[in-house]
Chain A
Amino acid sequence: MSAAPLLEDGPGLDDLLAGRLPDERGRFGPFGGRYVPETLVPALDRLEAGVKRYLHDEGFRGCLAAELRDWVGRETPLTPAPGLGRAWGAEVWLKREDLAHTGAHKINNALGQAMLAKALGAKRIVAETGAGQHGVASAAACARVGLPCIVYMGAIDCERQSPNVDRMRRLGAEVVPVTSGDQTLRAAIDEALRDWVSDPEGTYYLLGSAVGPHPYPYLVREFHRVIGDEARKQILERAGALPDMVAACVGGGSNAIGLFHGFLGDPDVAILGFEAGGHGAELGDNSATINFGRPGVLHGSYSLLLHDEHGQVQETHSVSAGLDYPGVGPEHAFLHTVGRVRYEWISDTDALAALDECCSLEGILPALETAHAFAGARRWAAEHPGGRILIGLSGRGDKDMPTLAKFPPGVREGDAE
């Protein structure tokens, strides 16, 4: 595990729980901030002012709550998973973000930001996407609020998530394949930022993960908090007690931060984030930023990062496009540093096996990203017999069919990639 620098007198978990983080400079302890070209600073200032004005405004919150209920289909169910429970010797509950409109948690943030953009007078929306889930959610939300939407997507991701490309176009978005850089999520963010720099006043950048310059990590977290708030209430009602452990997959970390926030203040609840371990521990073989990264700056914030000794960002690998990213949200870097959340990694092979297990025992096809959380929960269950586990089922796996076709059920040794 990497050791991140943290001043001994720096802020801790109490400050986070009391709502004092991010601080006025957009920091979670040392992490976060705003490392962007000058041209974007006024746009971020306007966004921050808009966030302050609308996010806790009763009128805005009322409209958002109604849309979350009527259009997104919240609250999403909490599903008991007795098949997995028997197999693991545990009590397993699934928070079903896969049942939200467009099939993943991403819609919570996409809708919230699209409504915010509309309120702020934006003329067009740009977004990036990795697995395509944020792109689909953005395309749908933009159609709903009536704004044109341009989605940047790495050329490699366009291929491995092709069903989502068609969905975005059908929903009226323009999808721009990105052939520069590593042709995945990271290059898509670079390109979306370039677009935004070129029209910072008319364009709204709808960032899809809990990364980027302040106030994005905060804004994205706030729109996803609903996951953890609902899950906590639901499990208390259904199980009569809090879970012993909460699990989520972590790429940039948006679904995880939303789920985790419901439980950060419950000291008896273990919280685990599972990163994409890809082929293994070597630099370039995985996307497990917190497990293997060191502090650095990418895409506007100071956080943990997979980069070499010269500060060049590394290409990453994961079978899951949505986790294939060399950075991680600054709040996760903070939660790791203060020790509240434990971050582990899961290999491609174990994630694929967990996906099949969930299909066969629960009749649910989770996204490849989500499958990392299942594999991690299974491992934790082996060490904690009888434990009550809550898994954030962040999205459904339909969009992964092109990738899964390369891994027929039962064939697992020697990955195809």
Chain B
Amino acid sequence: MTVPAHERIRAAIHEANESGRTALVAYLTAGFPSRDGFADDLLKIARSADVVEIGVPFTDPMADGLTIQKASRRALEAGVTLGWILDQVAAVREHLQAPVLLMSYLNPLLAMGYERLAARAEQAGVAGFIVPDLPLEECDDLDAALSDRGLALVQLVSPVTPPDRLERAAARSRGFLYAVTVTGITGGASGSGGGFHDYLARAQSVSPVPVCAGFGVRSAEQVADIGRVVPGVVVGSALVEALEQGSDPAEFLAALRPEAA
């Protein structure tokens, strides 16, 4: 029996925690800053992070701040498509040292068709999906197509999610539960303080899968702070900015490890 792909995500987070680290989930927009450098960036990031999220560019990224809006637009101008991304991942899958998820708005996934999407994702070695505009009530069809192949559909919760809903989202989530740290868009200020910790702790206490928290995480201090409450931290816009500035993603991610704080 092979292990379902979503279990690989959970195992990667668990493994990081076992070795005394907060799991780092690293996000990059596919094909940004350059289309040609994408496979390289992906491999480098997969060596430094515990889980990798590849952002599928979309014309109307309504949950994203300026950094990812701009990266998405540039990637689309460079001709990046969902099909191209799956091909790129498939080409390097043997060398990827961390499980890879795609983060995509729903419409590009719908356009490919869920069955074809799930088949191609499985073939490419993609472990799952995060879909920021697909709430619990609308996710049955995609979830069914992905589950059939053991792929994860990661559910998101936010600080304004009521307790009973949080429980249902956690129960439904595969791979991990994505706890959005703020009521807001990506790349802004992250959450902090007592209420914030309570929210994360509440999510962790009801979730059968590990909780990873993200939106606006930029520093080793934040990673350490969040890592005290939940198993994983998502780093997105900050890494996209580092890539844009030509920084080495491995160095950037190493500097985020709490031990570097």
Contact = CB atoms under 8 A, between A and B. Distances in A.
Interface in A336-394: none
B137 A311 contact: no
B158 A186 contact: no
A298 B61 CA distance: 10
Nearest to A187: B60
B37 interface: no
A311 B109 contact: yes
Given A197-B183, A297-B110, A35 B60 contact: no
Given A25-B137, A35-B106, A198-B183, A309 B111 contact: yes
A35 B111 contact: no
Given A35-B133, A197-B183, A198-B184, A310 B60 contact: no
Nearest to A314: B59
Contacts of A61: none
A2 interface: no
Contact of B185 (A181, A198, A295): A198
A34 B158 contact: no
A307 B107 contact: yes
Given A296-B111, A309-B111, A311-B108, A36 B133 contact: yes
A243 B83 CA distance: 51
B138 A197 contact: no
A272 to B, nearest CB: 29
Contacts of B188: 198
Contacts of A197: 62-63, 183-185
Given A39-B158, A307-B111, A311-B107, A34 B135 contact: yes
Interface string B147-159: 0000000001110
Contacts of B110: 295-297, 311
Contact of A310 (B73, B83, B106, B165): B83
B81 interface: yes
B63 A37 contact: yes
Nearest to A199: B183
Given A35-B106, A37-B133, A38-B157, A310 B111 contact: yes
A39 B162 CA distance: 10
Interface string A168-199: 00000000000011000010001001100111
A197 B64 CA distance: 10
- Contact residue range for chain B? 35 or more
A299 B137 contact: no
Contacts of B157: 38
A190 to B, nearest CB: 5
A147 B161 CA distance: 26
B183 A312 contact: no
Contacts of B145: none
A366 B184 CA distance: 40
A311 B82 contact: yes
B59 A38 contact: no
Contacts of A180: 66, 69
Given A38-B158, A190-B62, A33 B138 contact: yes
A348 B247 CA distance: 49
Nearest to A191: B62
Contact of B60 (A34, A36, A37, A313): A313
Contacts of A313: 59-60, 107
Nearest to B58: A312
A200 B106 contact: no
Nearest to A44: B135
B258 interface: no
A75 interface: no
A42 B161 CA distance: 7
A41 interface: yes
Nearest to B132: A37
A39 B186 CA distance: 12
B94 to A, nearest CB: 27
A297 B106 contact: yes
10 contacts: A35-B134, A36-B133, A37-B158, A41-B136, A199-B183, A296-B107, A298-B107, A310-B82, A310-B111, A311-B82
Interface of B: 58-63, 65-66, 69, 73, 76, 81-83, 105-112, 132-138, 156-158, 160-162, 165, 169, 180, 183-185, 188
Nearest first, the 8 closest Cβ-Cβ pairs linking A and B are A311-B111, A311-B108, A311-B107, A198-B184, A39-B158, A313-B59, A37-B63, A310-B81
